[in-house]
């Protein structure tokens, strides 16, 4: 999908974007500060405070503590449509290895998914929209959502009365930085981000001395066999035209080389796009885990618990067409593409589903275009270009920041009402 370029930039957007150059350096400094001070899910106290302070200074009515650590910034500007713009704010338990001068000052915690960039872009868009309020009418709701990484933040904000307290929007808009070349936008209609099921599995054996394995039921061997068998789920139980991913992200067992432990723990991550495939894959994973326990002679059945779960993100087709046309017109021809479905997951869809409104959620590039081109030419993209959740992931500040602010501003103004009689509400 390539968005058609607009014949000219709409007057409201043109007026809003005139202020971008003036705030770019300030936003870049804010981004670096957030990157240096990451906070884990539902612990984003400093981050929320910095957001609230900025949004209030821009003229928004700000409410903190929504969904525990979320922030909602509202600007009412006369009668008209209501647009919800969303950014997630939490970091990851990753030890940063970028060697940037503004690298994380918190050992073992990093903005390895780019949420600091999401926050900064949304604040930039809120500033431009506030300054250009004479050119549009309606209501802007800026939602700074906590705990996306654990799949709980969006639901927490909904449960805390997000729409009852601040109004129901006409559309939910948002974006996620990705290892695309900086300056590009990617958006896919329909199922766009995979559903996730993360499972904690405990497998039980019988411990003993490493010199006498015959007197034990070794849960390490049981778990290792399970990991290998799980690799057949996608290749042998999912049709070639369907998509699924099964990853064992952690296997933990034992304390010493000559002690066979009593149990092993697996952490399994599953990605799917349809309810039918999800049901089939979950059933296959459970069957294999239980089967391996039986084969190993376990005296106790495995235990399963859900770590977190994300629904599939479904982009409304008409909303994508409308929004991408506006963004493509703002950024220029060839800047918008269809990346296909993404196997990553997001909880932003919960906001749109709960409000029963269309969603348009897109990617924006954060990687050095020259480095991407070189890696693609050499066939080393996966090796040379760090992806989200990597300890080396670090979006290029420019033009990533400019692109993200422009995209959100253009998208919001497309859905807001145009100024009537040359004045805002």
Cβ 87 vs Cβ 174: under 8 Å = yes
b/e code 384-409 from CB counts within 10 Å (16+ = b): ebbebebeebbbbbebbbbbbbbbbb
Catalytic residue among 39, 44, 88, 90: 90
Long-range contact pairs involving 164-167 (C-beta distance under 8 Å, separation at least 24)? 165/63, 165/66, 165/72, 166/63, 166/72, 166/74, 166/141, 167/74, 167/82, 167/139, 167/141
Catalytic residue among 88, 148, 263, 414: 148
Give the HSE-up count for residue 281: Cα atoms under 13 Å, Cβ half-sphere: 30
**Measured between alpha carbons, how far is 74 from 344 in angstroms, rounded to an integer?**
30
**Measured between alpha carbons, how far is 215 from 131 in angstroms, rounded to an integer?**
75
Strand, coil or helix: what is 183? coil
Which residues are CB-neighbours of 49 under 8 A, at least 6 positions away? Answer: 64
Q: Kindly report the CA angle at 178 between 414 and 380, in degrees rounded to 5? A: 140
Count the residues in the chain: 425
Helices 115-131, 20-36: axis angle to 10 degrees equals 150
Neighbours of 235 (CB within 10 A): 9
Q: In 205-356, where do the E strands start and end?
A: 208-209, 244-253, 259-260, 263-272, 303-310, 313-315, 336-337
Is 148 assigned a catalytic role?
yes
Strand, coil or helix: what is 47? helix
What six digits make up the tokens of 360? Answer: 């348009």
Q: What are the C-alpha distances in Å from 86 to residues 79, 232, 271, 366, 393?
A: 21, 38, 23, 18, 22
Is 21 assigned a catalytic role?
no
Q: The tokens 């422009």 sit on which residue?
A: 406
Cβ 135 vs Cβ 419: under 8 Å = yes
Helix (H) or strand (E) holding 82: strand 82-88
Closest CA to 171 of 87, 82, 75: 82
Cβ 251 vs Cβ 224: under 8 Å = yes
* Residues carrying an active site annotation: 90, 148
């Amino acid at each position: 999908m390539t968005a058609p370029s607009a014949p000219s930039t709409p007057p409201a957007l043109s007026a809003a974007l005139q202020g971008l150059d003036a705030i770019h350096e300030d936003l870049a400094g804010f981004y670096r500060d957030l990157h240096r001070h990451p906070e884990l899910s539902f612990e984003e106290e400093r981050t929320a405070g910095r957001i609230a302070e900025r949004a209030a200074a821009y003229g928004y009515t700000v409410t903190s503590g929504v969904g525990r650590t979320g922030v909602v910034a509202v600007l009412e500007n006369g009668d008209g449509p209501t647009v919800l713009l969303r950014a997630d704010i939490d970091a990851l338990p990753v030890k940063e290895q970028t060697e940037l001068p503004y690298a994380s000052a918190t050992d073992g915690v990093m903005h390895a998914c780019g949420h600091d960039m999401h926050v900064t872009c949304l604040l930039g868009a809120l500033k431009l929209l506030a300054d250009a309020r004479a050119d549009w009418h309606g209501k802007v709701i800026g939602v700074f959502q906590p705990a996306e990484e654990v799949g709980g933040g969006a639901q927490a904000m909904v449960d805390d009365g997000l729409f009852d307290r601040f109004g129901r929007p006409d559309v939910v808009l948002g974006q996620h930085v990705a290892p695309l070349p900086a300056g590009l936008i990617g958006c896919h209609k329909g199922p766009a981000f995979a559903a996730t099921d993360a499972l904690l599995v405990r497998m039980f054996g019988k411990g003993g001395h490493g010199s006498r394995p015959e007197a034990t039921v070794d849960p390490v061997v049981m778990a290792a066999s399970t990991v290998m068998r799980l690799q057949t789920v996608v290749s042998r139980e999912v049709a070639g035209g369907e998509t699924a991913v099964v990853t064992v992200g952690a296997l933990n067992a034992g304390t010493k080389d000559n002690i066979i432990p009593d149990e092993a723990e697996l952490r399994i991550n599953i990605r799917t796009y349809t309810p039918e495939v999800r049901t089939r894959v979950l059933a296959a994973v459970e069957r294999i885990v239980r089967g391996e326990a039986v084969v190993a002679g376990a005296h106790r059945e495995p235990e399963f618990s859900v770590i977190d779960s994300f629904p599939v993100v479904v982009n409304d087709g008409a909303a994508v067409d409308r929004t991408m046309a506006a963004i493509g017109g703002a950024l220029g021809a060839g800047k918008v593409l269809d990346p296909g479905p993404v196997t990553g997951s997001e909880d932003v869809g919960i906001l749109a589903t709960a409000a029963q409104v269309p969603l348009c959620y897109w990617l924006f590039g954060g990687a050095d275009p020259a480095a991407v081109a070189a890696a693609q030419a050499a066939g080393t993209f996966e090796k040379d270009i760090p992806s989200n959740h990597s300890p080396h992931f670090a979006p290029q500040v420019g033009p990533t920041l400019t692109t993200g602010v422009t995209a959100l501003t253009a998208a919001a103004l497309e859905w807001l009402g145009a100024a009537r009689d040359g004045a805002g509400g």
